Structure 1
Amino acid sequence: MIEFINVEKKYANGTVALQNINLKIEQGEFVAVIGLSGAGKSTLIRCINRMHDITGGQLNVDNVDVGKLRGKQIRRFRRRIGMIFQSFNLVTRTTVLKNVLVSFVPDLPFWRKLTGVYNRDHKIKALEALDKVGILDKAYIRVDQLSGGQQQRVALARTLAQNPDIILADEPIASLDPVTAKMVMDDFKRINQEMNISVIMNIHHVEVALEYADRIIGIHKGTVVFDGESAKVTKEILDTIYGGQVEEATASLEESPAHV
Structure 2
Amino acid sequence: MIQFKEVGLTYPNGFQGLKDVNVTIEQGEYVAVIGLSGAGKSTFIRCVNRMNEITEGELIVQGQNVPTLNKKEVRQMRRSIGMVFQSFNLITRATVLKNVLVSFVPDLPVWRKVFGIFTKEEKMKALEALDRVGILDKAFVRVDQLSGGQQQRVALARTLAQEPSIILADEPVASLDPVTAKAVMDDFRTFNKELNMTVIMNIHHVELALEYASRVIGIRAGEVVYDGPASDVNEAVLSAIYNGQLPEEIGGE
With structure 2 as the length reference, what TM-score do the two structures score? 0.96
In structure 2, the residue matched to 1:3 is 3
Aligned pairs (5 A) from 1:113-192: 113-192=113-192
- By how many angstroms is 1:180 displaced? 0.4
| Aligned equivalents of 1:106, 1:62: Cα separation in 2 | 20
| Aligned equivalents of 2:80, 2:243: Cα separation in 1 | 35
Aligned to 1:225, what secondary structure does the other structure show? strand
Q: Deviations over 1:122-177 (max 9, x none)?
A: 00000000011010010000001100000000000000000001000000000000
In structure 1, the residue matched to 2:250 is none
| Aligned equivalents of 1:145, 1:72: Cα separation in 2 | 36
| Aligned equivalents of 1:112, 1:62: Cα separation in 2 | 30
Q: Does 1:57 align with 2:37?
A: no
Q: Deviations over 1:218-239 (max 9, x none)?
A: 0011000000000000101000
In structure 2, the residue matched to 1:236 is 236
| Aligned equivalents of 1:218, 1:46: Cα separation in 2 | 16
Contact 2:220/2:244 (8 A) holds in 1? no
| Aligned equivalents of 1:64, 1:73: Cα separation in 2 | 10
- By how many angstroms is 1:62 displaced? 1.7
Aligned to 1:8, what secondary structure does the other structure show? strand
Aligned to 1:163, what secondary structure does the other structure show? coil
Q: Deviations over 1:59-81 (max 9, x none)?
A: 00122100000111110110010
In structure 1, the residue matched to 2:249 is none
Contact 2:216/2:230 (8 A) holds in 1? yes
Q: Deviations over 1:227-254 (max 9, x none)?
A: 0000000101000000169xxxxxxxxx
| Aligned equivalents of 2:163, 2:187: Cα separation in 1 | 16
Aligned pairs (5 A) from 1:30-49: 30-49=30-49
In structure 2, the residue matched to 1:104 is 104
Query: What amino acid is the match of 1:222?
Result: G
In structure 2, the residue matched to 1:203 is 203
Unaligned runs of 5+ in 2: 246-253
How many aligned residue pairs are there?
245
Q: Deviations over 1:70-93 (max 9, x none)?
A: 111110110010000000000011
**RMSD (Å) for aligned C-alpha atoms:** 0.9
| Aligned equivalents of 1:8, 1:225: Cα separation in 2 | 15
- By how many angstroms is 1:24 displaced? 0.3
Structure 1 segments, 4+ long, off by >2 Å, are none
Query: What amino acid is the match of 1:44?
Result: F
Aligned to 1:18, what secondary structure does the other structure show? strand
Query: What amino acid is the match of 2:68?
Result: K
Percentage of matched positions with identical amino acids: 67
Q: Deviations over 1:2-30 (max 9, x none)?
A: 00000000000000010010000000000
| Aligned equivalents of 2:85, 2:69: Cα separation in 1 | 24
Contact 2:7/2:59 (8 A) holds in 1? yes
| Aligned equivalents of 2:94, 2:57: Cα separation in 1 | 43
In structure 2, the residue matched to 1:25 is 25
Unaligned runs of 5+ in 1: 246-260
| Aligned equivalents of 1:71, 1:12: Cα separation in 2 | 21
| Aligned equivalents of 1:244, 1:164: Cα separation in 2 | 36
Aligned to 1:54, what secondary structure does the other structure show? coil
